[in-house]
C-alpha cells in the first residue's frame, strides 16, 4: 500500500467512460473539514471534468466519518447511481481512531455487498495532519480526484 512520493491523481479523461448520465452523491464528514473540503472539491471538479452534469451531483454533510455509512445508505435509498464517502480520520491519543476507521470501512463494505450501486471509499486514515494535507491537494495529490475516477469506472461497470 506504500504510495510514498507517488502522486496517483493524474488521469486520462479520454480513457474513462463518460459521466454524462450519472447521478452521484458525495457524503462529506465535517471532522477535519479543512481536509474533507479539499477532497470534496477535488472529487467535484473531476466529476465535472468527466462530463457529469452539476445538477446530478448532490452533497450530504454528516458530523464525522463514523456517520458516513448512514449518509451513504440514505443516499442509496433515494436512488443514485453511485456514492462517494469523504472523510479524514487522524490518529489521536486514544483507540478512537481504530474504532472509527474499522466502523466506516466495514460499514461501506456492507453497503457495497448489499447494494447494486457502488459506494466509493475516500476516507483518509492518517497518523497526523501533515499526512492528510499531503493527500488532499498536497505532494501526494488529491484522493478526492482518485475517488471520482473510481466512481466513474464503477458506475459504468454497474450499468454494463
Q: Tell me which DSSP letter residue 81 carries.
A: S
Instruction: Decide: 123 and 87 in contact? Cβ < 8 Å.
Output: yes
Active site residue 5: no
- Which residues of the shown chain bind ligand DLZ in the complex (CB under 6 A)? 29, 31-32, 63-67, 87-90, 92, 96, 100
Closest distance to ligand DLZ from the beta carbon of 160 (Å) = 34
Question: How far is it, in rounded angstroms, from Cα 150 to Cα 118?
Answer: 10
Closest distance to ligand DLZ from the beta carbon of 65 (Å) = 3
> Based on CB atoms, which residue is closest to ligand DLZ, 85 or 150?
85
Query: By beta-carbon distance, which residue lies closest to ligand DLZ?
Result: 64
Closest distance to ligand DLZ from the beta carbon of 56 (Å) = 26
Closest distance to ligand DLZ from the beta carbon of 83 (Å) = 17
> Based on CB atoms, which residue is closest to ligand DLZ, 64 or 138?
64
Buried b / exposed e over 89-108, threshold 16 CB at 10 Å, is: bbeeeeeebeebbebbeebb
Question: How far is it, in rounded angstroms, from Cα 39 to Cα 106?
Answer: 21
Question: How far is it, in rounded angstroms, from Cα 29 to Cα 64?
Answer: 5
Grid-cell match 449518509, residue found: 71
Catalytic pick among 5, 96, 140, 156: 96
> Based on CB atoms, which residue is closest to ligand DLZ, 89 or 152?
89
Give the containing element (helix H, strand E) for 89.
Answer: strand 82-90
Nearest to 152 by CA among 7, 5, 9, 21: 21
> Based on CB atoms, which residue is closest to ligand DLZ, 67 or 81?
67
Q: Which residues are catalytic?
A: 96
Amino acid at each position: 500500500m506504500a504510495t510514498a512520493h507517488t502522486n496517483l491523481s493524474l488521469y486520462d479523461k479520454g480513457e474513462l467512460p463518460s459521466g454524462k448520465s450519472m447521478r452521484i452523491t458525495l457524503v462529506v464528514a465535517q471532522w477535519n473539514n479543512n481536509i474533507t473540503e479539499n477532497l470534496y472539491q477535488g472529487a467535484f471538479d473531476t466529476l465535472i471534468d468527466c462530463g457529469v452534469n452539476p445538477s446530478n451531483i448532490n452533497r450530504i454533510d454528516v458530523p464525522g466519518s463514523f456517520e458516513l455509512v448512514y449518509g451513504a445508505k440514505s443516499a442509496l435509498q433515494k436512488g443514485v447511481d453511485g456514492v462517494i464517502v469523504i472523510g479524514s480520520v487522524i490518529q489521536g491519543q486514544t483507540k478512537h481512531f481504530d474504532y472509527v476507521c474499522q466502523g466506516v470501512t466495514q460499514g461501506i463494505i456492507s453497503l457495497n455487498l448489499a447494494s447494486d450501486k457502488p459506494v466509493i471509499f475516500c476516507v483518509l486514515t492518517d497518523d497526523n495532519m501533515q499526512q492528510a494535507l499531503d493527500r488532499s491537494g498536497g505532494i501526494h495529490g488529491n484522493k478526492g480526484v482518485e475517488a471520482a475516477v473510481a466512481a466513474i469506472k464503477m458506475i459504468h461497470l454497474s450499468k454494463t
